[in-house]
Amino acid sequence: MIIYSSNALKFRESVDNNQITKQIESAFVKRMGKKPSQGEKRAWNNSMQFMERIIRNSHIADDCGILIEYNIPSTSKRIDFIVAGKDDNDNDNFIIVELKQWDSAQATDREDVVKAFIGGNTRETPHPSYQAWSYRQFLNDMNEAIFTNEINGYSCAYLHNYPTINPDPLQSSQYEDIIREAPLFLANDSIKLQEFLRKHVGKGNGLNLLYLIENGRIRPSKKLIDHVDGLFAGNSEFVLLDEQKVAYETIMSLAKETETKKTIIIQGGPGTGKSVISMNALGGLLKHKLNAKFVAPNASFRTVMVETLTKQKARNKTRTKMLFAGSGQFYDTPENFYDVLIVDEAHRLKGKGAFQYRGDNQIEDIIKSSKVNVFFIDDFQRIRPDDIGSIAEIRRIAEENHSEVHKYSLSAQFRCSGAEGFINWVDDVFQIRPTANYDGWDHRSFEFDIVDSPNKLYEIIKSKNEAGFKARLLAGFAWNWTAEADGNGNGEVTDVIIEEHNFQMPWNARSISNTWAIHENGINQIGCVHTSQGLEFDYVGVIIGNDLKFDLEQLKLYADYDEYKDRVGKRGLKYDNEKLSILVKNIYKVLISRGIKGCFLYCRNKELQEYLCQRLNIVGQR
């Protein structure tokens, strides 16, 4: 969506007449249905004055196309400024200009990340050249009009208030590669920027290019397809086995035909390979040149999936990240905009009032905005009251929207070393559902033990990690988590304290929350369900806190409202212990089932520890 478009002549006249901010604001209200913030209006008023001088002094043709605030389709990102036109060789080109009002910045040790004063605080943010490059890459990869009409994209960043200093943090050696991709122009570089524009778009005739860019269909280019295809090739973590292959082919056969609206529900418990199937489906649908996207409510899960798939530098990961999205961004997406949306961890979808979600129902958003939607779901992994994702709810909303419902169930376990019996035993022992594995499983197929202290638990997990296995310590929400504002941005505060064992460790650091599962510092921090759900490790050590207890008289597991510290997770459930207990037990099932090779357990509640040991002894007697 284009907020403002014009030719170079009219743009200059609007700025000269002091009308440009009013025109952009009027177009913004009309296109976006809301008013811009005062900060946005100040930025337009300031930056457009500088861009007018650049456009005028560059002497590019009057009929060059000008786009301001171009909303990248299917994202919440807006490109500040685009200039389109022909070069001396009659090539059709466009230039993305990322505008910043910064007057200072700091370098970091993270690839393509800097620090700048934004919104009243110093924050980490992508390098301006990286932002410009990533927007260009998205358009090159996903705008059909651009890659079929061979329109060439260029990008740069212009920091018109930023003085040239030596040494300059923004031009540190670690940023040389991205600046080469998207040149950086500072306050004293106006002549260089003018030459850059004149070289690539100086001959004008760019208005038609604006039309093509705005109306280009969103679908993957051959270069992007080849890129994604190369990521899957030889990647053993995404090989389809047995019924996973059947489920994948079922999805492909239904999803390739988008004339009829369809909702596909793939039901499966932990370890059945839902994520392996969903990732392969994304790759397969892109190969068929469908506008497909991978959706997951959990940011940690999305991040680790991209890291696992790419295992490359950040700029290569960006091309892959563009294919992934959170679940809350589709509330205002046009109907049937996507060919296919693939939703993993669908049980974590939200309703009205969820944090930072502006819609009413994420299931409905997704079904409305896609011709075909695929939901991977496990009804026993809902862990909060606002988790509305269920098979029944998906089916209801699909039928309301005249979408054909197709359901497929996965049963074979590919996690826990194939020990499907172990997962069933956990269900029975934790009183989630009765199963035939009440008396155990073939314990030779999966390593499981209950230990008598959290210190011993940590020693076991740390030794597994040092031996080269992926191993992490996990816990339920039985301890508060000190806020970042109180000095806990990097896991400085040891919140998880078990006094009787002189044990204390921090929760996973906020600074690495999305990559904690694969970060080298993760072994020294305790993960929660939000940083581990959907992921898997070789070994996990799980601490069950006092939020889950065992009643000796009733012989029943129950949640302790006061000991359960997730305020959102227990909202409205103070007098509904049955529902709270279901959610807390689901959390621990999720944590316990993260291991492929083994799981070790410590319970703080002595009655629960004794109950679980008794049930485990029955296994040993088989």
β-pairing, 113-118 with 106-107? antiparallel
∠ Cα 307 349 337 (to 5°): 80
> Can you give the pTM of this predicted structure?
0.75
Please report where in the chains the tokens 């029975």 appear, as a residue.
Answer: 428
Contact 327, 366 (CB under 8 A): yes
pLDDT confidence of 558, banded at 50, 70, 90? very high
pLDDT above 60 for 314: no
Contact 81, 20 (CB under 8 A): no
Q: What is the rounded average pLDDT for all residues in the chain?
A: 90
Q: What is the 3-state secondary structure (H, E, C) of 301-333?
A: HHHHHHHHHHCCCHHHHHHHHCCEECCCCCCCC
Please report where in the chains the tokens 């073939």 appear, as a residue.
Answer: 442
The CA distance from 216 to 193, in Å, is 28
Rounded (10°) angle between helices 274-287 and 222-232:
150
The CA distance from 251 to 277, in Å, is 9
CB count in 10 Å sphere of residue 592: 23
Cα atoms in the 13 Å half-sphere on the side-chain side of 392:
2
Give pLDDT tens digits for 372-395: 999 999 988 998 999 999 999 999
DSSP structural state of residue 497: E
Q: How far is CA 547 from CA 168, 433, 477, 588, in A?
A: 52, 20, 7, 10
pLDDT (0 to 100) of residue 505: 97
- Find the range with the poorest average confidence among 27-31, 205-209, 357-361, 601-605: 27-31
Q: If you average pLDDT over residues 398-410, what whole number do you get?
A: 94
Q: How far is CA 36 from CA 11, 21, 27, 43, in A?
A: 20, 11, 10, 11
pLDDT (0 to 100) of residue 219: 82
pLDDT above 60 for 417: no
DSSP structural state of residue 218: B
Burial per residue of 402-432, b for 16 or more beta-carbon CB atoms within 10 angstroms, e otherwise: ebeebebebeebbbbbebbbbbbbbbbbbeb
CB count in 10 Å sphere of residue 390: 16
Please report where in the chains the tokens 């990240």 appear, as a residue.
Answer: 321
pLDDT (0 to 100) of residue 158: 97
pLDDT confidence of 269, banded at 50, 70, 90? confident
∠ Cα 280 281 282 (to 5°): 90
Please report where in the chains the tokens 């038609």 appear, as a residue.
Answer: 208
pLDDT (0 to 100) of residue 620: 47
H or E element, residue 141:
helix 128-142
Contact 203, 88 (CB under 8 A): yes
Task: Determine the 3-state secondary structure of 439 from DSSP.
Answer: coil
pLDDT (0 to 100) of residue 35: 87
293-302, 324-333, 558-567: range with highest mean pLDDT? 558-567
pLDDT above 50 for 622: no
Task: Determine the 3-state secondary structure of 446 from DSSP.
Answer: coil
> Checking phi first, is residue 278 left (phi over 0); if not, alpha (psi -120 to 50) or beta?
alpha
pLDDT above 90 for 87: yes
β-pairing, 113-118 with 121-126? antiparallel
Q: Which residues contact 365 (CB under 8 A, 6 or more apart)?
A: 330, 331, 333, 359
The CA distance from 563 to 544, in Å, is 11
The CA distance from 370 to 292, in Å, is 9
Strand order in the sheet with 447-450: 447-450, 595-603, 537-544, 471-475, 526-527
Q: If you average pLDDT over residues 280-293, what whole number do you get?
A: 91
Give the tokens for residue 387.
């988790």
Cα atoms in the 13 Å half-sphere on the side-chain side of 402:
4
C-alpha torsion 348→349→351→356, nearest 10: 90
